[in-house]
Amino acid sequence: GIVVLGLNRPHAKNALNKNVIKMMSKAVDALKSDKKVRTVIFRSEVPGIFCAGADLKERAKMHSSEVSSFVSKARATIHEMANLPVPTIAAIDGTALGGGLELALACDIRVAASSAKMGLVETKLAIIPGAGGTQRLPRTIGVSLAKELIFSARVVDGEEAKSIGLISHVVEQNETGDAAYRRALALAREFLPQGPVAMRVAKLAINQGMEVDLVTGLAIEEACYAQTIPTKDRIEGLLAFKEKRPPRYKGE
């Protein structure tokens, strides 16, 4: 039930170009409707790097209208990724800059090695984050601190990222350079025993509820809770509790 999507452009530090965005969009579309998928982990197959952001060499060759289209496609793809109906985890074992960090911010949970470097550095290039960074970073760490990091184009390591709430877990890097990925796998395995429908509607309730006032959010929770009542998952969960055994969910 755990799907791992790995970036693998070693010669370009996993920079996001047209082809990567196209492949990512195709993968996300396939995952949306696959009921066997329970958790998705985004990682890098390239040691020491998560994603260096947009491919600036490719962008330099684009016409201005192409740039706008590319950024819109990247923003839409990352947004679709954020809306996957299952938990998503970013395993940051290396540098995540610009669009790379925006990709990680779209995940539900971020795990990073203490040696990893993260930042939205677009203002150095006289542009701004364009794939959700100006919206997701303040929602993650707060408005004032997000402004500070974006205005300064500051890069933080895993320890500082944890202290400001940018990531949920920080781990010491190991000899194989995949400590964050291993921690992400451990988290994903914690999610697997839970009811699949409950997991999907819990994510939906949280995501939608965070954008509205509390009264509206409670109404969203009520509507989402109602979706779990008639499911086979819930019956199996209650039966397993009664019989004092682990539930055996088949997914729906």
Cα-based angle 186, 188, 190 (whole degrees, multiple of 5):
75
- The dihedrals phi and psi of 55, each to the nearest 5 degrees, come to -75, 95
Catalytic residues: 54, 99, 102, 122
Cα 127 to Cα 131: distance, rounded to the nearest angstrom: 12
143's enclosing H/E stretch is helix 143-152
Residue 235's contacts (CB-CB under 8 Å, 6 or more residues apart) are none
- Class of residue 213 by CB neighbours under 10 A (exposed 0-12, middle 13-18, buried 19+): exposed
Torsion sign over Cα 24, 137, 109, 251: negative
- What is residue 124's DSSP assignment? G
Q: Which residues pair with 40 in a beta bridge?
A: 3, 88
Q: Which of 219, 112, 239, 84 is nearest to 173 (CA)?
A: 112
Spell out a b/e string for 146-158, using b for 16 or more CB atoms within 10 Å of the CB, else e. Answer: beebbeeeebbbb
